[in-house]
Amino acid sequence: MDAYLIEWGSLLLRWLHLIVGIAWIGSSFYFVWLDNSLKPPTDPALKAKGVGGELWAVHGGGFYNPQKYLVAPAHLPDELHWFKWESYSTWLSGFALISTLYYLQAGSYMVDPSVAAISPGTAVAIGLGTLAGGWVVYDVLCRLLINRSQLLFGIVYYAFVVAVAWALTHLLSGRAAFIHVGAMIATTMSGNVFFWIIPGQKRVVAAMQRGDTPDPMDGIRAKQRSYHNNYLTLPVLFCMISNHYAFTYTHAHAWAVLALIILAAVLIRHFFNLRHKGAVRWEFPAAAIAILAGVAVWLAPAPRVASTGTAAPTLADIQPIINARCTACHAEKPTLMASAPAGVLLDTPQRIEAQAQRIHDQTVKLKAMPLGNVTGITDEERMKIAGWFEGR
């Protein structure tokens, strides 16, 4: 029953996280596009009001004319919409999800004895420390470098993320390492909203309510942090889906795989940001495609080599291994899960044969299964499965 309730919690939290994440990312992408697309107003009346840019758009059968003030309007409107709950809801639902999937099941999802002999409690502490420490380092780097050089800041912060990826892949399971790099970046994004963007906007509103002139630096700092969030979005999205693709996080140099994919994601986002401003720079997506293609070639499995010598193990030889190491999860009535992950069943000879490629890929090539090696499969057993697969 506990496993069943955890699966329901996972389902509902994933759904909620996806919904509010779409709302946050959608509004973030829209406002970055809007900022990059605004044109100086030609109407003297708009200039006199302090409007620095405007845009005409048509959508859903209606015409829209958004305007952005250089600092703030002369008078505060009665109704003012705040874009903050999308970010807060995304982080809260994400933290609840990572707690349900990883922290409550750290022994299965976070600890990999072949990587580091740590306890589940230590793994959880590393995960939580990564989230908090990632924000602290990012914020310090911003304070030190953001007004000197955005490029220098970007290079230093990217190096920090890569260093974290390297450290986590040497402490946690590959799957947990990737998801925690993404969670660290997502925490930083939400921290920008909570600690900088919204407080700055509140200070502007408070100054107007007092009749004072708002400090333009509040808007400048908020915009800087908002642009950082824009570039960080695609790397976070990759980390979120990476757990479905074990060939990335089980590689011997998984940290480098993640570093290259993050770089490609940033280049893609940079292309779109420039394009919104009217500058089409194809070298950026071309570089991103080249990086991703290079990673794909690098991760490509080695061709199968026909075995020679002794007779290959038969299905009857490897079925006891599958029964002992795999069917605790992959059966019609599993004992470690509420239901078989991905619907893969391995509790009959026919089902084993039908899933031969997947069994080989997950247990031999990637060594991603059993998850966290919770059932204690040995290297000898993996080799026997490989011999059966190659001799079929």
**Residue 263 confidence (pLDDT):** 98
**Residue 146 confidence (pLDDT):** 79
- The per-residue pLDDT for range 261-294, each reduced to its tens digit, is 999 999 999 999 999 888 999 999 999 999 999 9
In a domain, 3, yes or no: no
Q: Are 269 and 180 members of one domain?
A: yes
Q: Are 217 and 261 members of one domain?
A: yes
Q: Are 105 and 246 members of one domain?
A: yes
Q: Are 265 and 239 members of one domain?
A: yes
Could you tell me the residue range of the domain that residue 359 belongs to? 315-390
In a domain, 47, yes or no: no
Domain's final residue, options 266, 299, 332: 299
Model confidence, pTM: 0.84
In a domain, 377, yes or no: yes
Q: Are 263 and 377 members of one domain?
A: no
Q: Are 217 and 123 members of one domain?
A: yes
φ, ψ for residue 59, nearest 5 deg: -160, 135
**Residue 304 confidence (pLDDT):** 59
Retrieve residue 162's tokens. 């890569």
What does the alpha-carbon distance between residue 291 and residue 274 come to, in Å, rounded to a whole number? 20
In a domain, 242, yes or no: yes
- The per-residue pLDDT for range 138-174, each reduced to its tens digit, is 999 999 997 888 899 999 999 999 999 999 999 999 9
For the chain, the domain total comes to 2
Domain's final residue, options 252, 271, 299: 299
What does the alpha-carbon distance between residue 333 and residue 321 come to, in Å, rounded to a whole number? 18
Q: Are 143 and 278 members of one domain?
A: yes
pLDDT truncated to tens, each residue of the chain (392 aa)?
A: 466 777 788 889 999 999 999 999 999 999 989 998 999 999 999 999 999 999 999 999 999 999 999 888 888 888 888 889 999 999 999 999 999 889 988 988 899 888 999 999 999 999 999 999 999 999 999 999 978 888 999 999 999 999 999 999 999 999 999 999 999 999 999 999 999 999 999 998 898 888 888 888 888 888 899 999 999 999 999 999 998 888 899 899 999 999 999 999 999 999 999 998 889 999 999 999 999 999 999 998 776 555 556 778 998 988 999 999 999 889 988 887 778 887 899 989 999 999 998 898 888 877 778 877 778 888 899 999 989 988 87
φ, ψ for residue 242, nearest 5 deg: -65, -30
**Residue 248 confidence (pLDDT):** 93
Q: Are 106 and 243 members of one domain?
A: yes
Domain's final residue, options 299, 333, 348: 299
In a domain, 165, yes or no: yes
Q: Are 284 and 326 members of one domain?
A: no
Q: Are 135 and 216 members of one domain?
A: yes
234: Cβ contacts below 8 Å, ≥ 6 apart: 265, 266, 268, 269
**Residue 1 confidence (pLDDT):** 47
103: Cβ contacts below 8 Å, ≥ 6 apart: 110, 124, 127, 128
Q: Are 104 and 240 members of one domain?
A: yes
Nearest to 109 by CA among 53, 21, 179, 48: 179
In a domain, 69, yes or no: no
Three-class SS of the chain:
CHHHHHHHHHHHHHHHHHHHHHHHHHHHHHHHHHHHHCECCCCHHHHHHCEEEECCEEECCEEECCEEECCCCCCCCCCCCCCCHHHHHHHHHHHHHHHHHHHCCHHHHCCCCCCCCCCHHHHHHHHHHHHHHHHHHHHHHHHHHCCCCHHHHHHHHHHHHHHHHHHHHCCCCHHHHHHHHHHHHHHHHHHHHHHHHHHHHHHHHHHHHHCCCCCHHHHHHHHHHHHHHHHHHHHHHHHHHHHHCHHHHCCCCHHHHHHHHHHHHHHHHHHHHHHHCCCCCCHHHHHHHHHHHHHHHHHCCCCCCCCCCCCCCCHHHHHHHHHHHCCCCCCCCCCCCCCCHHHCCCCCHHHHHHCHHHHHHHHHHCCCCCHHHCCCCCHHHHHHHHHHHHCC
Nearest to 139 by CA among 125, 153, 128: 153
Distance of alpha carbon 84 from its chain centroid, rounded?
20
In a domain, 37, yes or no: no
Q: Are 286 and 171 members of one domain?
A: yes
In a domain, 357, yes or no: yes
What sign does the dihedral 205-210-211-216 (CA atoms) show? negative
**Residue 305 confidence (pLDDT):** 57
